[in-house]
Structure 1
Amino acid sequence: MVPAEAAAGDIWAFFALVLMPDIAYWRYPNPPGDRVLATDLTRHVFGRLWWRAQLVHEPGESEPYAALGILGEAAFDQIYARRKALGGSPYLVKGILKVWRDLDRTGMDERDLLRDFLKRLLRLAPFMAFDALDERQLNAELWRTARDSVRALSG
């Protein structure tokens, strides 16, 4: 499936209601409408999984979906829910995941740290075109922001 098709809610509604309703209802036995009707792709039972895999896919790697193991589903949703500013860019998402993977989070509440990190990136987004930065520049900016979050939450 190409991203243009994956952006269409009716495709995902068809998957959940016609092709695989047994799987959709196994995953969410009493789903709210957005889980199966695809009114919000960030919440759809299949759409959210496809987009998560699409955003982390590294075609040249031996394990092209290895980055899926860096954050759990709920934590990844924190990024994807901010898709207009952060979660819509595979380049930025991959950069965030690489920093998160290597960041020393010992003794920190990971959920609070991730939220703080993303809030800081959201504040930067109107002033910085993350996708226009080369890999070195993006990496430096993400590391600076992550360290600011660690310092802020460390006391």
Structure 2
Amino acid sequence: MTTFLLPRLSRLGVRRLADELGEGYSTATAKSFLSDHSSLGGFGASGGLRDARSFEALADRLREIAVKCNMPSPPGTTAKAMFDRDAAIALGECVILRSAEALRDDVWAYLAAVLLPDVVRWRFGKAPAERYLGGVRNTFQRLWMRAWALDLGAGNLERWTLLRGLSEDAHVAIFERPSIGGNAVLAKASAAEWLRVSEVIGRGAMEEVMRRSIKVLRLKHQIIDLSVLSDEDVQQQVKEAFALAVDDLTATK
């Protein structure tokens, strides 16, 4: 199987773009800058074929999604949620991201800071550096992480049910905590239980339930290595955490 190497941008490169080009720079300006400062980015030295064109095609697709969500008009809550959902699905279905390249922070930094700075600014306004830098708060890497963990499989008619069903608060609660979001089985179990409980008590109460449940799960993880449990045992641990959170919330009312 051929591995396609994607363009990369160092953390220094991200900061240099913002510092030297200003807040409103374009993709063309960023590419021109990097052509004169090649040490700030590039590709892996070996291990595959360089494929900038496919990455740019992905960027075009993500920009199309943003335009459908009324970019460049300032996005409201509904438009942000729609963009995050549809962009996450596009990233999850993207063939070129099914390799170790997708695990590299500098690849995501290139996508955000070079290919899609306009989309980052539209989605987050005066976006802080972390929305361009690689990591769990990168504009696009965070969405790919959601898709990777909550994907029920290409042959499943309900493939994106979990991703579509969660609120933004629930996504953040899961995926900004590596011990939860970095474990696909645990993330899926947490998402599925969130959806089940929300149907019983209503979505309005779920932010506090989720906060308490995640706290319980993180405490459990200090005692039990959840990553070595069977899928069924993980699901049971999650059910117990949510049940305890609901009971605690009911008791305080």
TM tier, smaller: 0.7 to 0.9
SS in 2 for 1:63: coil
Residue 48 (structure 1) aligned with residue 142 (structure 2)? yes
Q: TM (normalized to structure 1)?
A: 0.88
In structure 1, stretches of 5+ residues that fail to align are none
Where does structure 1 differ by over 6 angstroms across 4 or more consecutive aligned residues?
Answer: none
SS in 2 for 1:109: helix
Give the equivalent residue in structure 1 for 2:185: 91
Residue 8 of structure 1 aligns with an amino acid whose one-letter code is R
Q: What is the percentage of aligned positions where both structures have the same residue?
A: 28
Is the Cα–Cα contact under 8 Å of residues 95 and 139 in structure 1 kept in the other structure? yes
Q: Which structure has the larger Rg over C-alpha atoms?
A: 2
Q: C-alpha displacement at 1:16, in angstroms? A: 1.3
Give the equivalent residue in structure 1 for 2:104: 8
Tell me: CA distance 1:67–1:3, structure 2 relative to 1, closer, same or farther (3 Å): farther
Aligned equivalent of 1:69, options 154, 164, 189: 164
Residue 37 (structure 1) aligned with residue 133 (structure 2)? yes
Residue 18 of structure 1 aligns with an amino acid whose one-letter code is V
Residue 79 of structure 1 aligns with an amino acid whose one-letter code is I
SS in 1 for 2:132: helix
Residue 135 (structure 1) aligned with residue 236 (structure 2)? no
Aligned equivalent of 1:81, options 173, 176, 190: 176
SS in 1 for 2:156: coil
Determine the C-alpha separation between the residues in 2 that align with 1:147 and 1:74.
19
Residue 77 of structure 1 aligns with an amino acid whose one-letter code is V
Q: C-alpha displacement at 1:108, in angstroms? A: 6.4
Residue 221 of structure 2 aligns with an amino acid whose one-letter code is A
Give the equivalent residue in structure 1 for 2:89: none
Residue 11 of structure 1 aligns with an amino acid whose one-letter code is V
Determine the C-alpha separation between the residues in 2 that align with 1:137 and 1:12.
34
Q: TM (normalized to structure 2)?
A: 0.56
Is the Cα–Cα contact under 8 Å of residues 58 and 64 in structure 1 kept in the other structure? yes
In structure 2, stretches of 5+ residues that fail to align are 1-96
Aligned equivalent of 1:102, options 196, 199, 211: 196
